[in-house]
Amino acid sequence: MTIPLPKLDLLPGQKLTLPGFLILCFTAVIVHRDYKAFRSLGPGGTPSTIPGYVRVKILSLFKLKDPYSPIPVPKGFRPQYGFLSSVRIPRRVGPRPEVDGIAPHRQLTQICSKDAFASLSSAISVFAAVPNNKLVLGTSCFEKHGTGLFSLAPLTRTCKGEICHAHASDGSLHMTLHPQDAATVLLRGWGERHPLARGGWFSRFVPSGFLMVYAPRTEQELEVVTEIIRAAAWFVSGQTICTSKEEEQRRDSGCVMEEDEGEEEGEEKVMEGYPIAHAQIPQMTS
């Protein structure tokens, strides 16, 4: 004996079968949960609205499959070497935190405390407090809210010279790094690439060296993260950044190097989001 499935009126002249209705309901539940998860990430560069959600879902079709693999230093890229070294950047303790989203892109686990975030914010402010650094604090250009650190005379093209910004909701940061420094951060477990940091056409959203650096959980981790911020500031601004007013005095002894000689006046110095000419790497002092 066969029991016919009922048909539900959808529109005049159209019928919706029960299986179709159940699939529609199931899809609606999944989309609703996904939309709530999108909104739970908090404010970001994309509005927490239905159009914003749709935009992010479309962009997610092109996100990186492996955010932990570094990109090679492009041929002819100068400088070939970054600011960081494996000696100064130890391996991060423990597993990586869970991360989700595109815009916003947030850390879900291992979130730092309010006191730790206050210390992080203070460390960022110190860079802007040194006049010769030529850095300022302002509203993040990438996030459209929250505080970002900017270079007044950027050598690397980013969103209005933004170096980094920190997220108050989790303590993580986004910043733009030299490709070799990005590799150091990735391989030593301190961060991951932004899902859209693919370069090329996607550079209109974020630079190819755009990384999330995980929230510092301890004072020791804050020291490492501060050094990574310093590397980002060096890359974007084209000069070595002092971390305190006392250290600024070292500039008189060659802390800041001049740009590479031989550049023709007016020659293009920015290529695919990275500088062609750049400040040289200072020698480390013990």
- Total structural domains in the chain? 1
- Helix, strand, coil percent content, the chain, rounded in steps of 5: 35, 15, 50
Tokens of 168: 């108050």
Confidence band (pLDDT; 50, 70, 90) for 204? confident
Residues 6+ apart with CB under 8 A from 157: 207, 270, 273
Among 195, 201, 123, 199, which residue's Cα sits nearest to residue 163? 123
Mark out the alpha helices in the chain (DSSP H runs).
18-40, 50-59, 114-129, 179-187, 219-237
Does residue 39 lie in a domain region? Answer: no
Does residue 207 lie in a domain region? Answer: yes
DSSP 215: P
Does residue 126 lie in a domain region? Answer: yes
Q: Is the pLDDT of residue 106 over 60?
A: yes
Does residue 30 lie in a domain region? Answer: no
Q: What is the domain range of residue 203?
A: 60-275
Q: Return the percentage of the chain with pLDDT > 70, whole number.
A: 70
Q: Is the pLDDT of residue 78 over 90?
A: no
Does residue 4 lie in a domain region? Answer: no
Does residue 131 lie in a domain region? Answer: yes
Q: What is the mean predicted confidence (pLDDT) over 186-205?
A: 93
Task: Tell me the pLDDT of the chain averaged across its residues.
Answer: 80
Confidence band (pLDDT; 50, 70, 90) for 252? low
Does residue 165 lie in a domain region? Answer: yes
- Contact between 140 and 253 (Cβ < 8 Å): no
